[in-house]
């Protein structure tokens, strides 16, 4: 049985200093002649997201600290709805003969699977399909779909992340107004 992951609180007051770093695990070997060989053991990158809050109310401050306590710092992964990269519209998933499709995220021409989606609308040749179910990132249709139909979808996706460290720091700026220091999230699989 899969563990239900918590969702990061929907407080959308991020400062403009956020970053997203992409990391690969590449080994590089150079021979005496200068020939280079590379090897990566990862099929998909790890992302390191750095964010901070520009301002928080007392209630939001308490909600965030309570959430960090619930996941016990970096101990437990959770779902993050990224402010910029969180939805796909009209993404092609395959053909009607498949009857189930993996939800994916596009980064330019690079496509990687996503495991947590919601608000899914599925289309066959541009016509909305009814009778769909979603299990993690796998989308299934229980109704009839023409085999040659092009299947596209719209959905919101979450990133599975954990804090990169065990601390989360806020600062009282004025009476009942708080900010957060920068915090890092790392994607996990």
Q: Where along the chain do its domains lie?
A: 19-81+160-187, 87-157
Q: What is the pTM of this model?
A: 0.88
Q: Rounded mean pLDDT of 23-51?
A: 94
User: Quick check: 1 pLDDT over 70?
Assistant: no
Q: Rounded mean pLDDT of 21-27?
A: 94
Tokens 């992409």 found at: 22
Question: What whole-number distance in Å separates Cα of residue 18 and Cα of residue 183?
Answer: 9
The residue count for the chain: 189
What are the two backbone dihedrals, phi and then psi, of residue 175, each rounded to the nearest 5 degrees?
-60, 120
pLDDT score recorded for residue 14:
86
pLDDT score recorded for residue 2:
54
Q: Could you list the beta-strand ranges (E) of the chain.
A: 19-23, 26-30, 36-40, 46-51, 78-80, 87-95, 100-102, 104-107, 110-113, 117-124, 127-128, 132-135, 138-141, 150-157, 159-163, 170-174, 177-180, 183-187
pLDDT score recorded for residue 108:
94
């Amino acid at each position: 049985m899969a563990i239900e992951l918590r969702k990061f609180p929907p407080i959308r007051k991020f400062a403009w200093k956020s970053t997203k770093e992409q990391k690969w695990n590449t080994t590089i070997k150079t021979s005496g002649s200068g020939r280079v060989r590379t090897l990566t053991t990862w099929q998909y990158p790890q992302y390191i997201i750095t964010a901070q809050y520009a301002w928080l109310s007392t209630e939001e401050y308490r909600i965030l600290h309570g959430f960090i306590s619930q996941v016990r710092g970096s101990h437990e992964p959770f779902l993050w709805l990224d402010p910029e990269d969180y939805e796909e519209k009209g993404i092609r998933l395959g053909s009607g003969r498949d009857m189930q499709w993996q939800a994916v995220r596009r980064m330019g021409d690079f496509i990687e699977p996503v495991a947590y989606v919601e608000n899914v609308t599925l289309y066959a040749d541009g016509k909305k399909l009814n009778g769909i179910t979603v299990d993690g990132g796998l989308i299934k249709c229980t109704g009839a779909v023409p085999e040659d139909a092009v299947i596209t979808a719209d959905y919101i996706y979450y990133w599975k992340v954990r804090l990169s460290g065990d601390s989360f720091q806020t600062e009282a700026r004025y009476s009942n107004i708080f900010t957060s220091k920068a915090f890092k999230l790392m994607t996990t699989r």
